[in-house]
Structure 1
Amino acid sequence: MREGAPDSEDFPEPPGLRRLRRLVTALTITLIVGVITIVGLLVIRLSRVTPPPELPASVALPAGESARAMTLGEGWVAVVTVDRAGAERIRVIDAETGAERGLTEIAPR
């Protein structure tokens, strides 16, 4: 130390500054823990391997209708069909039994 320079022991830290320093330290630790938690959760969820949905072996459509699109859900398959006249329908079919669970007519344009 230099000769005549004020020593830190001569000037105690003001209580407001001490409180502010502790608050900043606590918030920094909270931020670090939060970021680590979020990154950990993302790694756990994104690295989880989910099996692909099982496709039914075949889907029987009524005579004269052809499939335009298909989507899978848990235990069901939705098929957009079109008949010879151009009428479109959405058929919901049970994935296990192949039985039709629902039918929705699509209005023409």
Structure 2
Amino acid sequence: MDDLPEPGNLRFLRRMVTVLTGVMIAGVVVVIGLLVTRLSNDTPPLPDEIALPGGARAVAFTQGADWYAVVTDADEILIFDRLTGALRQTVTVE
């Protein structure tokens, strides 16, 4: 058989598939890199136990870079220092 030249639209399609494959591989590498950097957070660990003042009962919990907060059933937010565990601030929710 004779070697026929490749049609222009087929050549374009082949190049487009190759470029899109490269872009997809680069995107997957970027997403994996972002997940690894975001999930490997170097924050100090939380204490195993948190003693709440006045026998309050915890309803919710959240944390920041150097603090963590506990919302109690008495509508108070208790903000603790992450390193020392000392109570930093008490906020009353009205």
Higher helix share: 2
Of residues 8, 26, 33, the one that matches 1:15 is 8
- Which of 1 and 2 has greater Rg? 1
Q: Answer whether contact 1:92 1:102 (CA < 8 A) is retained.
A: yes
Structure 1 pair 71–53 and aligned structure 2 pair: CA distance change class (3 A): farther
Segments of 5+ residues of structure 1 without an aligned counterpart are 1-5, 81-88, 105-109
1:39 to partner: Cα distance? 1.2
Answer whether contact 2:57 2:72 (CA < 8 A) is retained. yes
Output the CA distance in 2 between the equivalents of 1:94 and 1:42. 29
Give the alignment of 1:1-109 within 5 angstroms: 6-8=1-3, 11-53=4-46, 60-61=53-54, 66-69=55-58, 71-73=60-62, 74=67, 76-80=69-73, 89-95=74-80, 100-104=90-94
Change (3 A) 1:33 1:98: closer
RMSD (CA atoms): 3.0
* Identical-pair percentage: 36
- TM-score, length of structure 2 as denominator length: 0.62
TM-score scaled by length of structure 1? 0.55
Query: Whole-Å Cα distance in 2 between the matches of residues 30 and 97 of structure 1?
Result: 50
* CA distance in 1: counterparts of 2:92 and 2:76, whole angstroms: 6
State the Cα distance separating 1:22 from its structure 2 match.
Answer: 0.7
Letter in 2 for 1:68: R
CA deviation map 1:40-95 (0-9, x unaligned) = 211222223322357xx96543xxxx322265544654322xxxxxxxx2222454
Structure 2: runs of 5 or more not aligned: 81-85
Matched length: 84
